[in-house]
Amino acid sequence: MTPTSAPPPTVAGEAPLADKIAFSSNRDGNAEIYVMDPDGSNQERLTDDPEHDRNPTWSPDGTRIAFVRESGSYRMNSDGSGEKKLTSANPSHLAWSPDGTRIAFALGELDSSDIFVMSASGIGWKNLTNSPDTADFEPA
């Protein structure tokens, strides 16, 4: 007889990262954040704002999505609820820390940008690269 193991426990409402794909689409007139199953089914719009929403990125535990809107960076729950503005700055990319407590982002011009980090609540910015004559971008 082969021993079997129980599946890992999950908390109600949590969406593991592998269960959904987040993406941005302008299919409804302007860019909004959507999620879908890995096979493309069950597409659902999460944001509905007149500004363009783009660059969604999942938190490591799959419970939150950070994204960029024209007026700044935001965070919301994986079902689109609980939207919170993190910054008034308009970063080019967002990336969660492995423990989900911080978010890294690139900010600046095309030829002169830096990588910053802040808490997942949007406070405590720190410039990590501080290189005014270079372009640092796309943290991961």
pLDDT at 70 over 60: yes
CATH of residue 71's domain is 2.120.10.30
Name residue, tokens 């410039």. 127
In a domain, 63, yes or no: yes
Strand ranges, E, within the chain: 21-25, 32-36, 44-45, 53-58, 64-69, 72-77, 84-87, 93-96, 102-109, 112-119, 126-127
Report if residue 133 sits inside a domain.
no
Q: What is the pLDDT of residues 109-129, one digit of tens each?
A: 777 899 999 999 999 999 999
Q: Structurally, how many domains does the chain consist of?
A: 1
Structural domain of 42: 17-127
Residues 74-97 have pLDDT tens digits of: 999 999 999 999 999 888 889 999
| 87 falls within a domain | yes
Tokens at 2, concatenated? 């082969």
Q: Has residue 22 got a pLDDT over 90? A: yes
Whether the model pTM is above 0.85: no
